[in-house]
Amino acid sequence: MTARRLEQASRELPENHEIPRLLASHRERDLSSAQLWLEEQNSVDIASELGRLSPELQAVAFRLLNKERALSVFEYLDPPHQADLLEALRDESVGELFSNIEADDRAALLDEMPAKVASRLLRDLPPQERKATSTLLGYPSRSAGRVMLPVATVLSPDANREEALKKLQTRGEAFATVPVTDNSRKLLGMVNLAELVAAPSGTSVQDVMQAESHHVYAHDDQEFAARLVQEADLLALPVVDDEDRLLGLLTVDDAMEILEDEETEDAYRSGGQEPLNEPYLTATVFTLARKRGVWLIVLIFAAFLTINVMEVFESTLEKVVVLSIFVPMIIGTGGNAGSQAASSVVRALAIDEVRPHDVLRVIWREVRVGFLLGLFLGAVIFPIIAVLYYPQVAATISLAIVCICSWACIVGGMLPLVAKKLGVDPAVFSTPVVSTLVDATGLIIYFTIAGAIMADQIAAAG
């Protein structure tokens, strides 16, 4: 790592960054003040600040941490930042750091690494850790099996309190809830560790076991599993195979990370771009443009629908020019109403409040919502337009808004459900797609209503 590269990385950092002393000290070839700053912070804050640095400066700061602190900070970094840091370190500490994190975290990190680097890191692991990591990598991406934490220690239902606690102490595994299985590792239930510790001496594991415990299968979607952890207030969710044999646990911290990632992905797609899959500040300008450009190309071609509609009704616009003034208002209101409906349904789908078979109930609900919104907006703008222009125009605009709001809410509520049924991410059919579709169809509604209400004026102009 050259001094020139570090100097350049330092200049690119914002002035209000929390590690100015690190940069200042590095320029002076004295890292003592930076080390003092790192010693005063907790691991979460350090990881947060390192995520804002370039990989080169991350490596400088990381080497100032002691062994235990370095591992703790590394575990709090997002997988893309972990991959960048390992690439920047390039020394003997990389293999040790990689082998000391949990198997599920290693699997997520390997997904971010180049194939050759991932193979080398996997090859250098101890045999037992390599086997556990390879097992997780064998499950489909985004499945519960891919993110579970393999569990070696299970309890027998016939064991008493003292035997169970001694086994847990000997194995050194500390989970808030512990699986209970039979001799073939078939899941029987879960035991809360706090209840086991508080139980009277001689109490059997079966007496404190929760037999009706939640569980998921290894090939189940990870978001479904994470939602179950959240909704059932679980500290750990058992993951089993097709024969109900225990494979591992999905812990609450991993579940929260999954939900955060899923919501981030939905937010990107709702805004009309592909998910970055890496932190914003570390993504290149080309990457940002590429992620956004794909959807812009799709939407710009979809906008030709609106242009075609305008061409069809060109003669009407030429005869009643005032109609063109309100086109932005009409399509903007319809697009906004449709986007609101789509956002509500996408969110409801994400938390399992609605399902694809609820499509008729959603349509009936949204058409009424849209109608009420249209009535309200129409009532507000009618007197204004009537004074500025004349009643026929006001009636046309107000009635068009009522109809377009109703139609936009139907489209916005229905498309995400159709997408879910077809196996497509519902967020894809959120704001941009709904707005573009409603723009074109809304203009058809607008000009049709105008043709009916203002027929005499159009005929006279012809």
The answer to whether 444 and 309 are in contact (CB under 8 A) is yes
CA distance 306 to 443: 8
pTM score, whole prediction: 0.64
3-state secondary structure of 430: coil
Q: Which helix (H) or strand (E) holds 249?
A: strand 246-251
pLDDT number for residue 269: 72
User: Which token pair is 14?
Assistant: 């914002």
pLDDT number for residue 281: 67
126-150 burial by CB neighbour count: b if 16+ within 10 A, else e? Answer: eeebbebbebbbebeeebbbbbbbb
The answer to whether 187 and 181 are in contact (CB under 8 A) is yes
200 DSSP assignment: P
Q: Render pLDDT for 343-391 as a digit per residue (tens, 0 to 9).
A: 888 888 877 788 888 899 999 999 999 999 999 999 999 999 999 888 8
CA distance 135 to 151: 12
Instruction: Say if residue 454's pLDDT is above 90.
Output: no
Single out the residue of 47, 76, 79, 52 nearest to residue 62, CA to CA: 47
Question: How far out from the chain centre does Cα 16 lie?
Answer: 28
Q: Which residue has the higher pLDDT, 346 or 63?
A: 346
For residue 194, count other CB atoms closer than 10 A to its CB. Answer: 10
CATH of 14-142, one of 3.40.640.10, 3.40.50.300, 1.25.60.10, 3.40.50.2300: 1.25.60.10
402 CB-near residues (< 8 Å, 6+ apart): 371, 374, 375, 377, 378
The answer to whether 78 and 86 are in contact (CB under 8 A) is no
Q: Render pLDDT for 390-441 as a digit per residue (tens, 0 to 9).
A: 888 899 999 999 999 999 999 999 988 988 888 777 776 666 778 778 888 8
Rounded to the nearest 10 degrees, the angle between the axes of helix 32-40 and helix 20-27 is: 160
For range 205-217, the mean pLDDT:
85
> DSSP of 129-189, one letter per residue?
HHHHHHHHHTSPTTBHHHH-EE----B-TT-BHHHHHHHHHHHT---SEEEEE-TT-BEEE
- What residues pair up with 150 in beta bridges, in sequence order? 248
pLDDT number for residue 409: 92
CA distance 303 to 432: 11
Q: Render pLDDT for 239-262 as a digit per residue (tens, 0 to 9).
A: 998 888 888 899 888 898 888 888
Average pLDDT, the chain: 79
In total, the chain counts a number of residues equal to 462
The answer to whether 55 and 85 are in contact (CB under 8 A) is yes
Q: From residue 308, how far is each of 12, 299, 312, 314, 330 by CA, in Å?
A: 47, 15, 6, 10, 17
Q: Render pLDDT for 154-191 as a digit per residue (tens, 0 to 9).
A: 888 888 888 888 888 876 666 788 888 888 888 888 88
The answer to whether 382 and 354 are in contact (CB under 8 A) is no
The answer to whether 138 and 131 are in contact (CB under 8 A) is no
Q: Name the percent of the chain lying above pLDDT 90.
A: 13
Single out the residue of 127, 124, 129 nearest to residue 106, CA to CA: 129
Instruction: Say if residue 220's pLDDT is above 50.
Output: yes
User: Looking at domain 150-252, does it have CATH number 3.10.580.10?
Assistant: yes
Sketch the domain layout of the chain as residue ranges: 14-142, 150-252, 285-461
Single out the residue of 223, 212, 213, 219 nearest to residue 242, CA to CA: 219
The answer to whether 59 and 84 are in contact (CB under 8 A) is no
> DSSP of 335-397, one letter per residue?
HHHHHHHHHHHHHHHHTTSS-GGGHHHHHHHHHHHHHHHHHHHHHHHHHHHHHHS-HHHHHHH
Q: pLDDT band at residue 11, thresholds of 50, 70 and 90?
A: very low
Q: pLDDT band at residue 217, thresholds of 50, 70 and 90?
A: very high
Q: Which helix (H) or strand (E) holds 319?
A: helix 314-319
The answer to whether 103 and 173 are in contact (CB under 8 A) is no
Q: Render pLDDT for 117-139 as a digit per residue (tens, 0 to 9).
A: 677 677 767 777 777 777 777 88
Q: pLDDT band at residue 271, thresholds of 50, 70 and 90?
A: low
Instruction: Say if residue 90's pLDDT is above 70.
Output: no
Tokens 């207030």 sit at which residue?
233
User: Looking at domain 285-461, does it have CATH number 1.10.357.20?
Assistant: yes
Q: From residue 382, how far is each of 77, 173, 321, 395 by CA, in Å?
A: 56, 70, 19, 7
pLDDT number for residue 16: 45
